[in-house]
């Protein structure tokens, strides 16, 4: 009777020992903070390429002077998360520079969108 009980327990222990060497780690991410000459916010590097942009339905602007800021994939919690686009009021004297992902020697780098004077 004891042998019947010991075999499943022993098999379970052996399985646990075999899997204990298995480590699942998320892709590495490095955050490098920008200098005052660069747009505000951190610059994010990841080894995982962003998916293609999602197709967004752009309706009618909520008021004159609004324009559409396209959605973007943002690296959050070890994965790409889609942030949908939205309408935003134009800022006189400024131009919107959209978010963009750039492939570098470190992987993929997200340059956050920002308002540039000009």
What does the alpha-carbon distance between residue 53 and residue 73 come to, in Å, rounded to a whole number?
7
54-59, Cβ contacts within 8 angstroms, sequence gap of 24 or more:
54/82, 54/84, 56/84, 56/85, 58/85
Tens of pLDDT, residues 70-89: 999 999 999 999 999 999 99
Q: Are 24 and 83 in contact (CB under 8 A)?
A: no
Which has the closest alpha carbon to 98: 33, 53, 35? 53
Whole-prediction pTM:
0.63
Tens of pLDDT, residues 29-62: 444 433 333 445 566 789 999 999 999 999 999 9
State the sign of the Cα–Cα–Cα–Cα dihedral 95, 91, 57, 41.
Answer: positive
């Amino acid at each position: 009777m004891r042998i019947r009980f010991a075999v499943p327990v022993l098999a379970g222990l052996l399985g646990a020992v075999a899997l204990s060497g298995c480590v699942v780690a998320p892709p590495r991410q490095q955050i490098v903070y920008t200098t005052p000459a660069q747009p505000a916010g951190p610059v994010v590097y990841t080894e995982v390429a962003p998916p293609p942009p999602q197709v967004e339905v752009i309706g009618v602007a909520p008021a004159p002077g609004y324009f559409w800021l396209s959605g973007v994939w943002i690296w959050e919690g070890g994965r790409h998360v889609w942030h949908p686009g939205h309408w935003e009021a134009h800022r006189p004297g400024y131009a919107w520079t959209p978010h963009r992902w750039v492939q570098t020697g470190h992987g993929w780098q997200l340059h956050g969108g920002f308002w540039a004077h000009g």
